[in-house]
Structure 1
Amino acid sequence: MSSTTNPPGSTGSTLSAAAEDHALVSVPAAERRSGHQLALSPVSVATALVVFAIAGFTVVLAGFTVGLVVGALVAAFGVFLGRALGRMAFETGMSSTITSRFFGFGLRGSSIGSAIFAFMILGFLAMESALLYQGTLLMFDLPDSWAIRVLLYGLMTLLWIGLAVFGLKLALRASGVLTAVTLLVTIYMIIHIYVIEGADPMGVFRYAGVVPGGLWPKFEAAVSVMGATAGTIALVTTDFARYCRTRRDVTVLAAAGPVTQNVLMTVLGSLVVIGGMPDVVTYLMDHDKNLTPEAAGAAGSDFVMQNTGAFFVIFAAWLGFVTIYAAQAKAQAINAYSGSLSLVNLVDALTGRKPGRAAMVVVGNVIALVMIGAGILEKFSTYLAYLGAMTLGMCGVMIADYYLVRRARYDSRTHRVEKWNWAGVITLAVSASIGMVLMATDVFALGFLVSFVAALLLYPLLRKWLPEGTGTSFAASEEAVEEAEGEDIGGHQDHA
């Protein structure tokens, strides 16, 4: 049994690391690892099917050159965010939601971060399931009927729940192998397209995208899809950063996910989606003689964002189909587990009640099914944009608190945690709302970036008017320990 003693507000005391996976306690020095060892986790997340969809769709909209440039810029932004937030998690030894109790939001206020993280993770749980569903329909030529939906989504949901409750360790141990298999199958598809089918790779590099107009409309379209995910990968990276040994390891870790997601996947996604589109159109016309070339082309374009698994099915048949399920099973187990812990922390932070994690796994999957029913896949771009406003607003508050207000100083022995940091709560509400309104009214498609900048500027001002302790009390050590008692309460993605 491994234990550690934590400062006030960490909601952790003498707990079993084996049971908690350090969800509530600071990761001890003996269990810290190098950044290269930890990098596999964000890389695994960054090679999921939904990321393949985002990368391919970005290039379809803006063209290869603009898409790759934007990918590099977003990667740089993601590295900056991951490093900035990762240093905080490195100092506290806590996951991103728990770290937000120390910097930006307070003990109770961190429930807002839990809600945002749950919305993010469960949204990706829903989208991954929807993509797998569409790929399964194509593989077995099934109709999209209610009976099929109930059957397939029901089986997938039971699988995700089972893996999250009973098979998470197995899924995590296989993550490296499954990530490698996914990349190898993708390379096989590229070889099939360009060597066997004889497609011209230069056609991909010259591809200009479907967005009309000059450079700015294409740039804006690419950033609106890809840029919104910068906060997402940064928060995921923050969870793993608590396991780092040194600040240099934090930097290595922070670079792994964004570079893989926004650069490598952009190149691979472009080569498959753009180069393979003629074969996809031919495949669709062969399977439906009533389709015109124009209709088949439109259907193939829809595959990029709404049926990404189709490319694996069409170019790799059973190998591709099995690959997407095997790879996504690992990602979905983590998403379901991670979402459940966010929901547990949300309930605990607001009410003091400690629901069981297994029950929250079921609740999280039910929420994901509701998202699917609401058409999250068809509203993918809108979801990403609004999610970006929330996640980047949250990142902005935490960065402003730690670096601008506290001057990057943290001492676990003297640091006090408020129950509510009203300056942070108000800043997040205002900054996220500004970004959402700008996007909803079509005033500025990149409103999520405005949310980040607004949070950085507004929080230090509000903190002067609402200094520490205003309108709230501080979390005492005894209360923090009492709230930590119970299993699997608190953070979210707790494995590295």
Structure 2
Amino acid sequence: MAALLGRDDQALSRVPDQARHPWLSVATQRFGQTTALSQLLLGATLGFGMTFWDAFLALTIGAVLLNAVAITVGVIGQREGLSTAILSRWTGFGHAGSAVLGLIIALSCTGWFGVQTGLAGMTLATVAGVLPAPVWSLLFGVVVTVIAAYGVRWMAWTAYVAVPAFLLLLGWLVLTNVHDVGAALSGPAPGPSIGMLTAITLVTGSFIVGAAIAPDMTRFNRNERDVIKQTVLGITLGEWVISLAGVLLARGLGTTDVMGVISASGGWIGALIVVTAVLKINDWNLYSASLGLVNFFDAVFALRISRVQVTVIVGCAGSVLAAAGIVHQFSHFLVLLGVVFPPVAGIMIAEYFVVRRWRNEIISTRPYVPRSAPSWVPATVVIWPASAVAGEFLAFGQSSVNSLVLAFALYVCAGRLDLLRMRTRRATNRKVAEEAAVA
């Protein structure tokens, strides 16, 4: 137990050089995040309403946009070695803003952890024929919780096993269900037409949260080249391989009911497809949720709690909610919660690369964290929600891109107009950072 509690993965401090990972290890986990059922369902939606090549174009444009966000924010995380929530203290949000962001990350990621745990539980119950779905949900949730509690190294090994297994099973699913690939590639859309802008919106919306909180993962990269390689490989291949498999299934079978196809594929094969798809993204949902909560308690209550303990508590709570079926009632709320993340990326990018009001603080104190941070940034309090709302309701462009660009532009303007001046600061306890420096 003591060894487990020691696996804090620098939740409140910088990741030292000796704790960084090879790029392929991080890339496999990033690819694991995008090789998910949500990407397969996205592809099926596009394939049902678009030609194959139009769907391919939409996926490519969406991947380019997601790569741009994930790489830019991810480079900040790699340079500074800090999680998204902690990093935000010196990239435009201050102590109070980082607390709010950490709580939102925790709510969003815990919610999706519960949704996918419930999905895995229902699938396993159907296939096994013994034990009800709630019990399977609890068992699956406990397994994922243990993996996430042990940290990034265990999550890497999970990805090494689950990613190739999922790809093999998905390949089998496509080959056994799509008998005329030529017709699937060249035929018309089997369902109501989907416009290109709508399709791009669906693509970017499917992973914008993951792109915005990229520092949680890229803080373990060794250099900026590794960030670029693992992001491009993980996101682009995820969109092309997994989503295009969904496109082929929808066009070949004339349906968007991919889950029905998986269920009909037979017994444990269908169950393994679902389990391997959910396992390698759900551990990261739980991991990011724990990082967000650790930051929240530190920022609000000056209370330092173990990431492992938080992971166990949140994992058990999410599993219970999944077993009770409660979490599925909040799926629309979770989707709505996702609109707050693009402006976060816009503000962080603007502060770190353009405005640079607090950049020198965070750079000059390496390998520690700065002694203090702004208590709160009033301009961000206005820019963040205003950009999120405006991005959703603007009649042109793509909502995620609109809100990100708007937040970026407004924050830069606030910096140029000297609206970011702060009079109050809050001290940062350096103990954890000093321990990380010699880890």
CA contact (8 A) 2:124 2:133 kept: no
The farther-off stretch of 457-466 and 166-175 is 166-175
Residue 481 in structure 1 maps to residue 437 in structure 2: no
Which residue is equivalent to 1:290? none
* Counterpart among 262, 287, 295 of residue 345 in structure 1: 295
Matched letter for residue 192 of structure 2: V
* Counterpart among 358, 361, 367 of residue 312 in structure 2: 361
Matched letter for residue 480 of structure 1: N
Please list the CA deviations of residues 20-74 of structure 1 after superposition, one character each: whole Å capped at 9, or x if unmatched: 2232332223344453443111011111223322232233344433321111011
For 1:64 and 1:387, the matched residues in 2 are separated by 31
Tell me, which stretches of 5 or more residues in structure 2 are unaligned? none
Which residue is equivalent to 1:322? 272
The farther-off stretch of 128-137 and 246-255 is 128-137
Cα RMSD, aligned residues only: 3.5
Residue 238 in structure 1 maps to residue 218 in structure 2: no
For 1:156 and 1:211, the matched residues in 2 are separated by 37
1:237 to partner: Cα distance? 3.4
* Counterpart among 407, 424, 429 of residue 380 in structure 2: 424
Structure 2 matches for 1:212-361, cutoff 5 A? 212=193, 217-275=194-252, 277=253, 301=256, 303-304=257-258, 308=259, 310-315=260-265, 317-357=267-307, 358-359=309-310, 361=312
CA contact (8 A) 2:108 2:337 kept: yes
Structure 2 matches for 1:443-462, cutoff 5 A? 446-462=398-414
For 1:333 and 1:273, the matched residues in 2 are separated by 29
CA contact (8 A) 1:58 1:221 kept: no
> 1:56 and 1:486, CA in 2 relative to 1: closer, same or farther beyond 3 A?
farther
Please list the CA deviations of residues 317-336 of structure 1 after superposition, one character each: whole Å capped at 9, or x if unmatched: 32331343245334333322
Please list the CA deviations of residues 151-176 of structure 1 after superposition, one character each: whole Å capped at 9, or x if unmatched: 34344344444444469754531311
Please list the CA deviations of residues 256-299 of structure 1 after superposition, one character each: whole Å capped at 9, or x if unmatched: 22202322222122223432x36xxxxxxxxxxxxxxxxxxxxx
SS in 2 for 1:20: coil
1:94 to partner: Cα distance? 1.3
* Counterpart among 125, 139, 156 of residue 113 in structure 2: 125
CA contact (8 A) 2:95 2:374 kept: yes
Larger radius of gyration: 1
* Counterpart among 152, 173, 177 of residue 193 in structure 1: 177
CA contact (8 A) 1:54 1:225 kept: yes
For 1:274 and 1:59, the matched residues in 2 are separated by 6
How many equivalent pairs are there?
424
TM normalised by structure 1 equals 0.74
SS in 1 for 2:363: coil
1:141 to partner: Cα distance? 7.5
Structure 2 matches for 1:397-416, cutoff 5 A? 397-406=347-356, 410=360, 412-413=363-364
SS in 1 for 2:172: helix
Matched letter for residue 350 of structure 2: A
1:138 to partner: Cα distance? 4.8
Residue 71 in structure 1 maps to residue 59 in structure 2: yes
Residue 433 in structure 1 maps to residue 389 in structure 2: yes
SS in 1 for 2:222: coil
For 1:87 and 1:408, the matched residues in 2 are separated by 17
Residue 373 in structure 1 maps to residue 326 in structure 2: yes
For 2:345 and 2:334, the matched residues in 1 are separated by 18
> 1:91 and 1:454, CA in 2 relative to 1: closer, same or farther beyond 3 A?
same
> 1:252 and 1:165, CA in 2 relative to 1: closer, same or farther beyond 3 A?
closer
Structure 2 matches for 1:75-154, cutoff 5 A? 75-136=63-124, 138-139=126-127, 148-154=132-138
For 1:209 and 1:458, the matched residues in 2 are separated by 43
TM normalised by structure 2 equals 0.83
Which residue is equivalent to 1:39? 27
Matched letter for residue 390 of structure 2: I
Which residue is equivalent to 2:187? 206
Matched letter for residue 328 of structure 1: V
Matched letter for residue 222 of structure 1: A
For 2:306 and 2:81, the matched residues in 1 are separated by 24
SS in 2 for 1:211: coil
For 2:397 and 2:248, the matched residues in 1 are separated by 27
CA contact (8 A) 2:262 2:270 kept: yes
For 1:481 and 1:85, the matched residues in 2 are separated by 24
For 2:296 and 2:113, the matched residues in 1 are separated by 18
Percent same amino acid among aligned pairs? 22
For 1:249 and 1:360, the matched residues in 2 are separated by 27
> 1:17 and 1:105, CA in 2 relative to 1: closer, same or farther beyond 3 A?
farther
